[in-house]
Amino acid sequence: MSITLDYISAEPVPPTVAAQVVAEADTLVASFDWWGEPISIDVSPKRISGSTRIRLGGYGLVEVPKDEEALMVCRDTRFIVSQLSTWSAKYAITWRLSEVGAEVGAVVGGKPDAKLASYVSGLCKGLKLPDTAVPDILKKHEARKY
């Protein structure tokens, strides 16, 4: 599995919309305690795209038990898909999501398509830890940020 989740608008995005999405993404960077990396939005001449590290994958010197990594990957992926869904509904953007160049689904009309819903469900299936474990995991692995 890839370390990053990539996303790109399927169609050109007007510059004013791109600027709004970038500004909102910048706000999210500081308002959410990201596992690997925060959501990021890049603007090209006509499309907007981004890539977020959702897995630590041996990043740095941090050793993370698989069950903790799985919960955090699920959490961040759900958050990213939710935010892309919000932007999709608000700005009429269709997003294509991929991992290692393979499309994992899309957000269309403010909702994940069946393929993306299945991808997220697969990431989150069989978690051994409850969502309530997230704050302790974040604190335990504080070194991941440095």
- β-partners of residue 53 are 4
Note the pTM of the prediction, 2 decimals.
0.93
For 46, the 3-state DSSP assignment is coil
pLDDT of residue 102: 94
**Does the structure show a pLDDT above 60 at 14?**
yes
The pLDDT score that the predictor gives to residue 146 is 56
Between CA 30 and CA 64 the distance in angstroms is 23
What is the pLDDT at residue 59? 57
Q: What is the mean pLDDT of the chain?
A: 92
For residue 2, pLDDT over 70 is answered with no
* pLDDT bracket for residue 41 (50, 70, 90): very high
Residue-range domain boundaries for the chain: 4-145
Helix (H, G, I), strand (E, B) or coil at 60: coil
